[in-house]
Amino acid sequence: MIQDELSRLRLKLIAVTLAFSFIPLLSLGLGLYAKFYDTYTEKIYGNLRNLADNKKVTIDLFLTERVAQLSNLALTESYADLSGDAYLERIFGVLQLHSKSFLDLQVIDQNGICVSYVGPYQLRGIDYSHEDWFRTVMAKGIHISDVFMGFRKYPHFNIAVSRREGDRTWVLRAAIDSDIFDSLVRTIQLGKSGDAFLLNAQHVLQTKPRFGHDMFDTVPFPDIPRFSGTRVDELSIGGEVSLYAMTWLNLKDWLLVIKDDPGEELLPLYRARWLLILLLCGGGTLIVIGAVFIANGTVRELIRAEREKATLDASLTQSSKMAALGKLAAGVAHEVNNPLAIIMEKAGWMRDLLSEEDIKASPNFQEFADAVAKIEFHVRRAKDVTHRLLGFARRMEPTQENLDVNLLLEQTRSFLENEANFRGIAFVRDYQADLPHIESDASQLQQVFLNILDNAIDAIDKNGSITIVTRKLPDTPEVEIAITDTGNGIPRETLEKIFDPFFTTKKVGEGTGLGLTISYSIIEKLGGRIKVASEEGKGTTFRITLPVSS
Amino acid sequence: MGLRVLAVDDEADFIETLVKRFTYRQIPVTAAGNGPDALALLERESFDVVILDMRMPGMDGLAVLQEIKKRHPLVEVIILTGHASVESGMQGMSLGAYDYVLKPVDFGELLEKAKKAYERKKLNESRADA
Ligand SMILES: Nc1ncnc2c1ncn2[C@@H]1O[C@H](COP(=O)(O)OP(=O)(O)OP(=O)(O)O)[C@@H](O)[C@H]1O
Ligand SMILES: [Mg+2]
């Protein structure tokens, strides 16, 4: 019952301690982690975005410059001049001075026929009128193609611009080495598995990526509608999650993609996460141990207090039991004494009459005499009981005399000397010579010693020894008297009954069972304690502790 | 002239037997059932030893004892008590009783004490005469 309650209390204590420790610990840990996570990813995303921005500006700048060069040329030179191969060649030379990436240059009339050409191939006379790019440049004034191999077997792209001159329109078209993009994206400083590439609107690679694909492969990339600025996203492509910074070029519908391995970039973050988990586990274990420790300690304290209370209660009940019993016993004994007195007198009177001559002659004389003797014997027995009861119930205040316990024990022992000698019982005396005198009631103490020594002699019956030890207790102002006998001992189950009134194992007429009851109440009244330890068949020790001064 | 006893107790059976046993031993004895009767008897006749029970209804033994000692200082009193406490006996003795006997009484002991009390009374009387 109480055990259940205590274990429930223990659990409750543990739970409360854990709750109040874990909640702050967890919120602190997780809060810090979240903050760190945010800041850190913010930084990584920021870095990637910057990188992408910069590259985009560079690529855009490159394209803008090339377009501007061609446009300037178209605006400043006339169709008549440029359609001559020799002049075109000179102009091409000037262009290449600015940029080595120009591969060739051609002039196309409004019917789509190449009229002049400078470059490694013979393209003059070719008809472009059915090509898509030709229609676009005629309509919009400019066209930038995707990167392709062409018959050059070399990745390049074309820029074409158109010019209206009088009533006709002509087109200036240049092939441009796309190596420049490769080198631009390749110079991006990336980690081990980082990558950078350009994609056209159909997800066809315009540069050669570091890993996985070749140029002109179609990459399984999600459709990214055109947007302005730079975006950084975590995307899962081909079952692999990576960070992607993406930005559309201004002049061409190419998407610049910078890929970064989050694992690599976020490594410090993962480390921090592990550290956090480790710290939480460590802290958690400590807290659990602490909580269990505290709860166990508290419960142990409670149990101890409970036990103390129980013993106190027990001794209180014992003494109030004694007091109530004392009053009752005194009343009963007194009432019983008067009829006993009458029986005694009547028996005495019968004994008187038995000495008359005529009765002596009666054949039953002996029977009468025996009966009277028996009546007197049993009245005396009853008298023993009532007198002891009255002695026990005596509410006399104990006197206070300065007494020598050793001397008192010696006197008391001497009363029993003859009886002990007769039964072959030796006394072993171990008195502390400088035992302090105590303030107590000599006659009541003597009664106690007499009771205990009497019991010891009865327990030994024949041949044995009784050891009497007196000691000053080292820690408290008390003296201890230990009386040990080599008697038959007390069985465990009766050990707690021996102080009960009328508990006796002795023959009818030999023991009242009040000796120890009275001894107990006397010692208690004198402010001391009485304890018993016994081993069946070996002997018994009674220990009396008395205060030096009351 | 021998010992004359007055026995005072409210227990009729007890006092009756006591009277029989004294008479059987040729000791003149008179019984009284309570304190006032005893005091009245003491006024009329002279006794040497009063055997006085402590607990009686009405006037109790101690009061009777005090009264006897006041009026007849030479009369010796032996206290009978059912209270086996030494101190009630002691209290009686401090009030002038010769001795006390615990109930149930051992008649031999009582007789012994009565005789001794008588001797002391004789002694006191001779001293008073001198
Ligand atoms: N030293 C002892 N060794 C063995 N048993 C003992 C000892 N002291 C007491 N006891 C047991 O305790 C019982 C109670 O003892 P207690 O002194 O109260 O009564 P008693 O000795 O039986 O009667 P009384 O004291 O009236 O003679 C005894 O009957 C005996 O069984
Ligand atoms: Mg005993």
Domain range A269-391, CATH architecture: Orthogonal Bundle (1.10)
Q: At what angle do helices A515-525 and A267-354 cross, to 10 degrees?
A: 120
- List of chain B residues whose C-beta atoms are within 8 Å of the C-beta of residue A396: 85, 87
Tell me what pLDDT residue A358 has: 84
For A299-319, the pLDDT digits (tens) are: 899 889 988 888 777 767 766
For A57-85, the pLDDT digits (tens) are: 999 999 999 999 899 988 888 888 888 88
Domain A398-547, CATH: 3.30.565.10
B residues 97-126 near A, CB within 8 Å?
A: 102-107
DSSP annotation string for A142-154: EEEPPPB-GGGTS
Please give the DSSP secondary-structure letter assigned to residue A494. Answer: H
Q: Which pair of structure tokens corresponds to residue A295?
A: 């709860």
Tell me what pLDDT residue A465 has: 96
User: Which CB contacts under 8 angstroms, 24+ apart, belong to B114-119?
Assistant: B114/B3, B114/B5, B114/B27, B114/B49, B114/B51, B114/B78, B115/B3, B117/B48, B117/B49, B117/B76, B117/B78, B118/B3, B118/B48, B118/B49, B118/B76
Which of B17, B55, B102 shows the shortest C-beta gap to A346? B17
Cα–Cα dist A375/A343, whole Å: 8
Cα–Cα dist B35/B28, whole Å: 20
For A131-170, the pLDDT digits (tens) are: 889 999 998 889 999 988 877 788 889 999 999 888 888 9
State the first-to-last Cα distance of chain B, in angstroms, to the nearest integer: 19
Tell me what pLDDT residue A25 has: 85
Tell me what pLDDT residue A82 has: 85
Cα–Cα dist A37/A42, whole Å: 8
DSSP annotation string for A517-540: HHHHHHHHHTT-EEEEEEETTTEE
Cα–Cα dist A193/A175, whole Å: 33
For A206-233, the pLDDT digits (tens) are: 888 888 788 888 888 888 888 888 888 8
**Average pLDDT of every residue of chain A:** 87
Do residues A251 and A48 touch, judged by C-beta distance below 8 A? Answer: no
Average pLDDT over residues A365-376: 91
Strands B49-53 and B5-8: parallel
Please give the DSSP secondary-structure letter assigned to residue A431. Answer: -
Tell me what pLDDT residue B30 has: 94
DSSP annotation string for A314-332: HHHHHHHHHHHHHHHHHHH
- List of chain B residues whose C-beta atoms are within 8 Å of the C-beta of residue A344: 104-107
For A421-475, the pLDDT digits (tens) are: 999 999 999 999 999 999 998 888 988 998 999 999 999 999 999 999 999 999 9
Is it the case that residue A395 has pLDDT exceeding 60?
Answer: no
Please count the CA atoms within 13 angstroms of the CA of B49 that sit on its side-chain side. Answer: 28
**Edge-to-edge strand order for the sheet containing A156-165?**
A114-118, A102-108, A168-177, A156-165, A142-144
Evaluated on CA atoms B27, B33, B34, B37, the torsion sign reads negative
The pLDDT-based confidence of A397 (bands split at 50, 70, 90) is: low
Domain residue ranges of chain A, discontinuous segments joined by +? 269-391, 398-547
For A5-42, the pLDDT digits (tens) are: 888 988 998 899 888 888 888 898 889 889 988 988 88
The pLDDT-based confidence of B66 (bands split at 50, 70, 90) is: very high
Please give the DSSP secondary-structure letter assigned to residue A238. Answer: T
Tell me what pLDDT residue B51 has: 94
Q: Which pair of structure tokens corresponds to residue A462?
A: 């024949």
Is it the case that residue A539 has pLDDT exceeding 90?
Answer: yes
For A500-511, the pLDDT digits (tens) are: 888 899 887 778
What percentage of residues in chain B have a pLDDT greater than 90? 59
Cα–Cα dist A401/A438, whole Å: 8
ipTM of the complex, rounded to two decimals: 0.86
Q: Which pair of structure tokens corresponds to residue A210?
A: 């570091």
Cα–Cα dist A528/A479, whole Å: 9
Please give the DSSP secondary-structure letter assigned to residue A130. Answer: T
**Chain B contact for A344, CB < 8 A?**
yes
Beta partners for B38? none
Cα–Cα dist A8/A102, whole Å: 87
CA distance B72 to chain A (A): 28
Cα–Cα dist A241/A253, whole Å: 25
Using only the alpha carbons of chain B, give its radius of gyration: 13
Cβ neighbourhood burial of A386 (10 Å; 0-12, 13-18, 19+): buried
Cβ A337–B11 below 8 Å, yes or no? no
Cβ A396–B87 below 8 Å, yes or no? yes
Cα–Cα dist A472/A547, whole Å: 10
Cβ neighbourhood burial of A184 (10 Å; 0-12, 13-18, 19+): middle
| Residue A435 host element (H or E) | none
Instruction: Give which of A58, A59, A93, A57 is closest to A73, Cα–Cα.
Output: A93
For A88-134, the pLDDT digits (tens) are: 888 888 888 888 888 899 999 988 899 999 988 888 888 988 888 99
Tell me what pLDDT residue B94 has: 83
The string over B84-122, giving b where at least 16 C-beta atoms fall within 10 Å of a residue's C-beta and e elsewhere, is: bbeebbebbeeeebbbbbbbbbbbeebbebbeebbebbe
**Chain B contact for A433, CB < 8 A?**
no
Contacts of B61 by beta carbon, 8 Å cutoff, 6+ apart: B8, B35, B52, B53, B54, B55, B79, B80, B81, B92
Is it the case that residue A408 has pLDDT exceeding 60?
Answer: yes
| Residue that is written with structure tokens 């009771």 in the block | A451
For residue B81, the CA-to-ligand 2 centroid distance in Å is: 25
Which residue did the predictor score with more confidence, A27 or A328?
A: A27
DSSP annotation string for A339-399: HHHHHHHHHHHHHHHHTSHHHHTSTTHHHHHHHHHHHHHHHHHHHHHHHHHHHHH--PPPP
What percentage of residues in chain A have a pLDDT greater than 70? 96
Residues across chain A: 550
Tell me what pLDDT residue A151 has: 75
What's phi and psi for A509, nearest 5 deg?
90, -15
Q: Do domains A269-391 and A398-547 have the same CATH topology?
A: no
Which of A343, A345, A387 shows the shortest C-beta gap to B18? A345
Cβ A344–B104 below 8 Å, yes or no? yes
**Chain B contact for A352, CB < 8 A?**
yes
Helix (H, G, I), strand (E, B) or coil at A239: coil
Substitution target from B27, B53, B103, B111 for chain A, most A beta carbons within 10 A: B103
DSSP annotation string for chain B: ----EEEE-S-HHHHHHHHHHHHHTT--EEEESSHHHHHHHHHHS--SEEEEES--SSS-HHHHHHHHHHH-TTSEEEEEESS--HHHHHHHHHTT-SEEEESSP-HHHHHHHHHHHHHHHHHHHHHHH-
| Residue A217 host element (H or E) | none
For residue A395, the CA-to-ligand 1 centroid distance in Å is: 24
Cα–Cα dist A473/A436, whole Å: 11
Which chain A residue has the Cα nearest residue B15? Answer: A342
Q: Which residues surround ligand 2, an ion (CB under 5 A)?
A: A 455, 515
Pocket of ligand 1 (CB under 6 A): A 451, 455-456, 459, 485, 487-490, 498, 503-506, 511-517, 540
Which chain B residue has the Cα nearest residue A336? Answer: B82
Tell me what pLDDT residue A530 has: 94
Do residues B47 and B6 touch, judged by C-beta distance below 8 A? Answer: yes
What percentage of residues in chain A have a pLDDT greater than 90? 32
- List of chain A residues whose C-beta atoms are within 8 Å of the C-beta of residue B51: none
- Compute how many other C-beta atoms are within 10 angstroms of the C-beta atom of residue A135: 14
CA distance B127 to chain A (A): 36
Tell me what pLDDT residue B1 has: 55
DSSP annotation string for A438-464: EEE-HHHHHHHHHHHHHHHHHHH-SSE
Substitution target from A336, A340, A342, A352 for chain B, most B beta carbons within 10 A: A342
**Chain A contact for B85, CB < 8 A?**
yes
